[in-house]
Structure 1
Amino acid sequence: MDPCPFVRIVIGNLALKFPDRRSFPCYCKIRLKGFPTQVSNIQFRVQESDAVESKIHACFNLNKLVMETLSEKSKNTARKLPFLKIEIYRGRREHCGFMKRDKLLGAEPDPRFVFKFDGEPECSPQIFQVNGNVKQPVFTCKFSFRNSGERILRSRSSLSEPSTSNSCLSLVTADKEQPIKERKGWSITVHDLSGSPVAAASMATPFVPSPGTDMVSRSNPGAWLILRHGHSTWKPWGRLEAWREGNGSDHLGYRFELISEGGIDTIPLANSTISTKNGGKFSIEITTGSTPMTSPNSSFDLSSLSSSGSDFGSTTGSGSWAHMLYRGFVMSATVEGEGKCSRPEVEVGMQHVTCTEDAAAFVALAAAMDLSMDACRLFSQKLKKELRQFNLE
């Protein structure tokens, strides 16, 4: 099935120049009706000859429905087309008084494959590829417990306390049970239609509550290993960490890293949060310039990162392989809030899919992100029956 049409609007290489050569920090707010406002620092040019920094300030992704709506509006000249608005601010509060309005120009095609889970990942659903009203099965997935799911370890400790009486000293021993909870061993395997495994997500680090709390914290996150299957063996492809934000926050934090071929280097591709109440989107979008200050897609600029002393933007070094593999929009997946029925919808940029295993790896990652919402649920709350498995030791 062909990929679904998408359009990606990118705003980049902005700069300011004042006739009296004043210099002060500025930033811009970029608005497009129907999309979250994006914010980015903006360069100040003192002289005409100053080079403009190569930087992506914002990007907007339009699906087929949005494009058809805009096209329909353009046929009616009496109705105004939506404008892209760029507002320039000085410092953090003062308004510079500059505003640019322009029509939507310079959009680039960004076709994507769309996959839809036919049920919750823990229920081992079928996965369909979707294009408009047409859908066809492409994968099945199997959820299982590698060892145990949520288990309670009961450790008995003897506490000896002296007790005096009129005639003797006796020891009173009391057994105390100290429950230690952990969620571990969850695994989901993606199969092609022939039944062969092509990708998997498996808990690599248990999800356990921090001491004195009933939640998984950022200082001790749980983690998934995302695996690809090829040449009769499993190879690690990525690592997803998840935790619950502290200070009364109702957000799930996550961090996804790509693992190099040798399994030595890791490169962060996504690091953001999702509301545990309302859900949201897990997204990976890589820009060739600096990352916007607030990006709805948690974009990362590989050229600004380093690993093992190498720059990711260079043509040599341990990080260059990821810079060459992934550019622009990579993927997104819907994630529902706690207690809600979740059937993830996954979008993957067509340029990043060259084989079945490519698509399956992103599907497995989406399943792991969805299950992390349950794995990071407060330990004072009960999990769904599909995710509960108790072992007493």
Structure 2
Amino acid sequence: MTAGAAGLAAEPAGPGQSTGPVRPVRVGLIGAGRIGASHAAILARRVATVELAGVADAVPAAASRLAAQLGVKAFGSPAELIGSDEVEAVVIAASSTAHCELIVAAAGAGKAIFCEKPMSMTLEEADRALAAAADVPLQVGFNRRFDAGFAAARHVVATGGVGTPQLLRSLTRDPGLANPGAVPPWTIFTQTLIHDFDTLLWFNPDAEVVEVYATADALVAPEYKSAGLLDTAVTVLTFDNGARAVAEASFSATYGYDVRAEVFGSAGMVTVGDQAASSLTHFGPDGRRVNTVRGDVELFLDAYTAEFAEFANAVRAGREPAVTGRDARRALAVALACVESVTTNRPVTL
């Protein structure tokens, strides 16, 4: 569906999809940076149950450029977008430090909210956002839950396919660190590994993390460590059901964007994640070669699309989205415990 399309849209029934004709949800997007621009294009072109009503950014010129590319309205400010009658739901893809205030403002205007992770930067902010959004749909962007492979793996776990989870693993390895000086302190926990923490909580149903021990260093760009950069990290999580989990991250996977997970249990094991760009494998005199994906949008394009379809369906159905603000708070609590663990060089009890 292109931006500005009107009328009814229909999608086949399935996870995150509509069961019949619906009026597209008029969405306004805040944040015209890398991920905001990608989200805007997905909303405008790939989600039949959404009409992208416009975009806004703290830098109006950035919003104008993105709006021109997609043929939609550029609002003069996030506040103008939130207050507009043309917008019934808001997608927040602005700087993470602005997430809480934007959630509170959007909820106060009665808008449904999709917010990129993290929902906030502190637990106090998370609680404030949750309280403000108590009466409107609030979904947070943990895209791995909507990836077909990760969803299938979780189904295996949830239906007893591995028995009782005992050992879990999740990893994220980004393909490069273009500008080490621009990475805010603790990004590896609050922006990167927070996806892994959510995945591990999701893969260990009804269990909570009770202890965290984290180590981290600047191995990719050590000259920036004094400025607060951490580009390599390993965390050990202990759950209240006795399971142990390891989450690791690096900002220097030269071979591509690498996201994987594993659950080992009393009756089996499930693994998920593949860096291959397609099923093609080239066999030649130098051996076997496989092309790999190089970024999150390339790897998770269908997952991003599915999470926005789920959001639109939740808005139209008047129900709670599949991924809630409470889920976001749980993952944030683990991320912040990791920060404390690295700072104090000791395990932290949650």
Fold shared per TM-score above 0.5: no
- Larger RCO (CA within 8 A; separation ≥ 6): 2
**Structure with greater Cα Rg:** 1
TM-score (norm. length: structure 1) = 0.26
Point out the structure with the larger helix share. Answer: 2
Q: TM-score, normalised by structure 2?
A: 0.28
